[in-house]
Amino acid sequence: MRTFLRFGWLWLFCCAANAAFAQADFFELDHLPEINLLFEDPNWDETLDSLFLAGDEGRMVADVEIDGTLLGGVGVRYKGFSSVSVDRDKNPFNIKLNYTHDSLNYQGVDKVKLANVIQDPSFVREVLSYQSARRCMASGRANFAKVFINGQYWGLYTNTEAVDKQFLERHHWTTTGPFFKAAPENLDLFGENANLSDSPGEILAPYLDLYDLKSETGWVELFGFIQSLNNAPEQIELVLDVDRTLWMHALNYALVNFDSYVGYAQNYYLYADHHGRFQPIPWDMNMSFASFRLTDASEYFDGFSIEEAKTLDPLTHLNNVSVFPRPLIRNVLENETHRRMYMAHLRAIVVEDFVSGAYIEEANALRTLIEPWVELDTNKFYGFDDFQDNLDSTVSDLVDYPGIVDLMTDRANHLMGLTGMAEVPTISEVDLLIPLEFGGEAIVGAMVDGADEVRLYYRFGEDAQFEWVPMNWAFSGQHIAVVENAGNVFEYYIYAESETAGRFSPDRAAYVFYREETSLPMGTVAINECMSNSLSAATDGDGDVEDWIELHNLTATPICLGGLYLSDSLEWPFKWALPDAAISPHGHVMVWADEEGSEGKMHANFRLSSMGETVLLSDSSGNIWDETTLPESPLDEAWARFPNGTGPFGFLDPTPGWENGVVTLPALPSLEPLVYPNPSMDQVHFVCPSSAPWTARFLSLRGEQLSQSSGIGKGGSLRISDFPSGTYVLQLEQDGWTTTHLIQHP
């Protein structure tokens, strides 16, 4: 057993104070949640040590009290790798609240991640970094927590939001897309790790240890993305959210956060959104502000000094050699517009966070909040004097930890003198020149100076992708763009560039943007189709057959659904608020009536009864826009309008996302095709779900068709011995449905 100093008086005081902040937000920046781990086993530390050494992420059952709320049967293990040691007292914790009780959570949080603030005498590096990140991209919340073990103060920890399904629910429209953590199983200090290069080859197996799959499926999508990034970067915007990627790189270089993709190619997540584009999510920023200086995989592959950190080139992987490939940097930034956009993002961070001095104010506020608890933390890794000094001055221990202000003052000055940072276009007086009208023209004007090209990016709903049109010079520096047939919601930003520099307005676009709204006329949206008794008509993103409601845009204008409500109760018309989802002209959108909001924003908080149900669509004033009463529903028949969108309801074959009609659409095969053997040497065989005609195509990972075969019946094969070893795609089409399968050809 380890020994520790007891602060009994402190624990009694804190228990008495629990009621004062029991309702405080768990991640509120100015709140220090109290987390008391309660172990029955007096040798809890030895058990956790053994679980860590076993390496299988096993957990120890305990109870935990969070701000006075007791949660039983949670699972505890150590968090991370390099910050853990069985020879130290203050180890990081990963607490799974729903370990033994599936629904157990605290304020919607079911996993608590507590870092032990190692390699940061200032204590504020990680929280400051997440503050900066959240201003420009989807990233975790972070604050500090007072951690007790069996009632004894154990130390001050950083409390960081887990990047998990709850995180995806907050930031994305779906939660079931391909989801990966860049966490090599065995970190190679002199290797590529999770750098997204195609160096491991054209067989999937070598990639499996480099990326940790967090979703049910996704390897095909990740593998295809890696191939596109490395071999077709000119089309990368189809499979990558380039803007979020540029923001992540800008953050890492501005904050000298090199325990990231820049350094050992780790500590980030990738999530494929509902448009099929991977988005990066930063993670584990505890060694930012040059606390970590061992490598950046370029000319400083063997490390860099504090003075070198102040002048690190944010275009290192373009201007110098990459010792280990960094295609997510080099291949993206080789596009000149992407490069200027990247420097514009970097400038926004430097100006707003550092040149302004805002980070010093934030750091001092944090230090005032945590100072008493840092002083009482007898398990911390540095002295209290080091904590007081390290915001401004270097603290020397096993390595030198630069003073944050000293580092960032010089770094900000250096960065602001670089090409792309010093002389940039100016954008001002951005506004709509006439009020927004549904179906009318959105005319945007802006005063722009010093630019050769000006673009207006726009969309008509939060789930839509931004498109762009040129803004043309009108007079006296004003540029104007006209977007015809604007919807009831118009979100936009401006980008201007010269030959050397770019500028956004707002500066933190596309994460921040301008928004205009106008009223949506009644009669523009209709309930079009409902399914309440299905076995196979449609599956949601999680692969489950659920109830659903289809809404239809009756107009030739894009519609944003925000401000409307769906309900199955006349007494409760505001039961579920529709999100800011866009419906294209004359288009359809699916709402899953499954009470599973954790699976995405288009999942309602009610189900439909196969015995009969009322469904109504209303607005915030209580006006009923549309309603229907479902009778008792036969199996796999939809209650739908015919003609589509305007006719009376009746039972029809389900057509989710399609126009309603009397023509029976092909049914989704009840079974996936069987493909064997895999890996395949000479031929690949398959068994199809039905006896209908089939077509098999053998494709490269770039989508090039290499061979094709057709037939009728449940069986078939393709000869593949003519092709080199590698990974290919088998595409099978039958009954109007297409499935794809990765094939390993050794």
Q: Is the pLDDT of residue 16 over 80?
A: no
Q: Write phi, then psi, for 461 (nearest 5 degrees).
A: 180, 155
Structure tokens at 269: 């997540």
Residue 327 pLDDT class (50, 70, 90 cuts): very high
Side chain identity, residue 704: E
pTM above 0.85, yes or no: yes
Q: Quick one: pLDDT at residue 729?
A: 82
Q: Is the pLDDT of residue 486 over 80?
A: yes
Q: Which of 205-214, 222-231, 729-738 has the lowest mean pLDDT?
A: 729-738
pLDDT: which is higher, 676 or 212 = 212
Q: What is the pLDDT of residues 574-607, one digit of tens each?
A: 999 999 999 999 999 999 999 988 888 999 999 9
Q: Is the pLDDT of residue 375 over 80?
A: yes
Q: Quick one: pLDDT at residue 668?
A: 47
Average pLDDT value for residue range 95-111: 95
Q: Is the pLDDT of residue 145 over 60?
A: yes
Q: What is the pLDDT of residues 215-254, one digit of tens each?
A: 999 998 999 999 999 999 998 999 999 999 999 999 999 9
CA distance 168 to 179: 10
Side chain identity, residue 238: L
Residue 154 pLDDT class (50, 70, 90 cuts): very high
Structure tokens at 411: 């770094």
Residue 655 pLDDT class (50, 70, 90 cuts): confident
Q: Quick one: pLDDT at residue 17?
A: 40
Q: Which of 67-76, 102-111, 702-711 has the lowest mean pLDDT?
A: 702-711
Q: Quick one: pLDDT at residue 354?
A: 97
Average pLDDT value for residue range 39-62: 94
Q: Quick one: pLDDT at residue 669?
A: 53
Average pLDDT value for residue range 127-144: 97
| Residue 448: C-alpha distances to residues 30, 403, 424, 426, 453 (Å) | 40, 39, 11, 6, 10
- Residues contacting 87, CB < 8 A, separation 6+: none
The H or E element spanning position 244 is helix 242-254
Q: Quick one: pLDDT at residue 415?
A: 98
The CATH number of the structural domain formed by 426-507 is 2.60.40.10
CA distance 266 to 218: 19
- Reference 417, options 515, 342, 516, 314; nearest CA is 314
The CATH number of the structural domain formed by 525-652 is 2.60.40
Q: Quick one: pLDDT at residue 714?
A: 64
Q: Do domains 426-507 and 525-652 have the same CATH topology?
A: yes
Residue 2 pLDDT class (50, 70, 90 cuts): very low
Q: Which of 57-61, 125-129, 250-254 has the lowest mean pLDDT?
A: 57-61
* Mean per-residue pLDDT of the chain: 90
Domain boundaries, the chain: 8-161, 173-355, 426-507, 525-652, 674-745
- Reference 420, options 477, 350, 356; nearest CA is 350
Average pLDDT value for residue range 365-386: 98
CATH architecture of the domain formed by 674-745: Sandwich (2.60)
Average pLDDT value for residue range 375-399: 96
Q: What is the pLDDT of residues 600-631, one digit of tens each?
A: 899 999 999 988 889 999 999 999 999 999 99
Q: Is the pLDDT of residue 15 over 70?
A: no
Structure tokens at 263: 């350094």
Q: Is the pLDDT of residue 444 over 50?
A: yes
Q: What is the pLDDT of residues 402-433, one digit of tens each?
A: 999 999 999 999 999 999 998 999 999 999 99
CA distance 167 to 270: 13
Q: What is the pLDDT of residues 289-310, one digit of tens each?
A: 999 998 888 988 889 999 999 9
Q: Quick one: pLDDT at residue 702?
A: 64
Residue 703 · residue 225 · CB < 8 Å: no
3-state secondary structure of 181: strand
| Residue 77: C-alpha distances to residues 2, 100, 104, 276, 557 (Å) | 17, 14, 17, 34, 53
Q: What is the pLDDT of residues 656-712, one digit of tens each?
A: 888 887 544 444 455 567 776 777 777 787 777 776 777 888 887 666 778 877 776
Q: Quick one: pLDDT at residue 664?
A: 42
Q: E strands, 6-86, where?
A: 34-38, 60-66, 69-78
